[in-house]
């Protein structure tokens, strides 16, 4: 069975500082990877996804994630965070035709 | 506007009283699913549907029922709610699904916070 591990349940960071949210997955075969963001009192929204091709994927609001097959990771990074980035972030993985499995989420708290 | 609409947003009920949470999408999506979100557990899939009249169990289906009589609607039914079903519920839809998953972007509803006392 596939699993997704987000080791950090909460990440506080000062505004304009860089941030990395970690995601590791367990799978011995090809996977498809996603990051979703959940703003307070809202549903989840797709932030970015890796299906194939370039291992570095970017979102429109400055986040990026790199698929690292050897380390089975898909960490999310942003060089300079804003207050508006305060949210909970979920990593998700799909292996082949299996269903999507979500991680337990990481709450990003941006401190003014 | 493309959206997934859940109702109600908040619900407090008593143990054993049947309830239904509705979910509707206006994007003509084939694939719909229900998740529950609990602290420290992330999102866990309850049921999913790959198309009209095609539904299957997710990871945590016990205590829940679903139906898919129309493409746009996918209600979640709790026949006899219990306190351990107190949770935040999300409905999601996407264009296609194969083997119980979505291979395109999933659109989520705003969530339904259910409390069973």
Which residues make beta-bridge pairs with B63? none
List of chain B residues whose C-beta atoms are within 8 Å of the C-beta of residue A104: 40-42
Those residues with Cβ within 8 angstroms of residue B3's Cβ, 6 or more apart along the chain or in another chain? B25, B26, B27, B107, B109
Contact of B101 with chain A, judged by CB distance below 8 Å, is answered with: yes
Q: What is the pLDDT of residues A30-74, one digit of tens each?
A: 778 899 999 988 889 989 988 777 888 888 889 999 999 888 999
CA distances to A18, A44, B109 from A13, in Å: 8, 22, 29
- pLDDT over 90 at B61, yes or no: yes
Residue of A nearest to B90 (CA): A43
Cα separation of A62 and B28, whole Å?
Answer: 31
Q: How far is A47 from chain B (nearest CA, A)?
A: 10
First to last CA, chain A: 41
Nearest to A44 by CA among B94, B11, B90: B90
By the CB < 8 Å criterion, does B96 face chain A? no
Pairing of strands B10-13, B65-66: unpaired
pLDDT of residue B44: 92
Nearest CB to A103 within list B4, B42, B105: B42
**CB pairs below 8 Å between A and B: how many?**
56
At residue B66, φ and ψ (nearest 5 deg) are: -140, 165
At B99, the pLDDT band (50, 70, 90 cuts) reads: very low
Q: Kindly identify which residue of chain B lies nearest to residue A97, measuring between CA atoms.
A: B99
Segment 32-91 of chain A within 8 Å of chain B by CB: 32, 36, 41-46, 49, 90
Share of chain A above pLDDT 70, in %: 92
Is the CB of A97 less than 8 angstroms away from the CB of B98?
yes
Q: What's the pLDDT tens digit per position in B2-43?
A: 899 999 999 999 999 999 999 999 999 888 999 999 988 889
Residue B44 CA to its chain's centroid (Å): 11
Which of A76, A79, A7 lies closest to A36, judged by CA?
A76
Of A4, A43, A97, the CB nearest to B101: A97
DSSP string covering B47-107, please? EEEEETTEEEE-S--TT-EE--SSSSB--EEESS--GGG-EEEEEEEES-EETTEESS--E
**B69-95 pLDDT per residue, tens:** 999 999 999 999 999 999 999 999 887
Residues of A in contact with B34 (CB under 8 A): none
In chain B, which residue's Cα lies nearest the Cα of A51? B103
Question: Is B91 within 8 Å of B8 (Cβ atoms)?
Answer: no
Which of B42, B90, B101 is closest, CB to CB, to A99?
A: B101
Query: Are B108 and A105 an interchain contact pair (Cβ–Cβ within 8 Å)?
Result: no
Q: Check whether B103 has a pLDDT greater than 60.
A: no
């Amino acid at each position: 069975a596939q699993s997704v591990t987000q080791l950090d349940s909460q990440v506080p960071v000062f505004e304009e500082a860089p941030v990395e949210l970690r995601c590791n997955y367990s799978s011995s075969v090809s996977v498809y990877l996603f990051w979703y963001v959940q703003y307070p009192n809202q549903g989840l929204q797709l932030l970015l996804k890796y299906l194939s091709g370039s291992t570095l994927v970017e979102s429109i609001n400055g986040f990026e994630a790199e698929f690292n097959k050897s380390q089975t990771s898909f960490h999310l990074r942003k060089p300079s965070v804003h207050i508006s980035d305060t949210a909970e972030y979920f990593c998700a993985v799909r292996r082949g035709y299996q269903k999507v499995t979500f991680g337990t989420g990481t709450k990003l708290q941006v401190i003014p | 506007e493309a959206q997934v609409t859940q109702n109600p947003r908040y619900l407090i009920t008593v143990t054993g009283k049947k309830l239904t949470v509705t979910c509707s999408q206006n994007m003509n999506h084939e694939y719909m699913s229900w998740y529950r979100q609990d602290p420290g557990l992330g999102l866990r899939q309850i049921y999913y549907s790959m198309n009209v009249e095609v539904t299957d169990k997710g990871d945590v289906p016990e205590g829940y029922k679903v139906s898919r009589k129309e493409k746009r609607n996918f209600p979640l039914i709790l026949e006899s709610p219990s306190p351990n079903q107190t949770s935040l519920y999300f409905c999601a839809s996407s264009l296609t699904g194969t083997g119980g998953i979505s291979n395109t972007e999933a659109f989520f509803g705003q969530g339904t916070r259910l409390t069973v006392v």
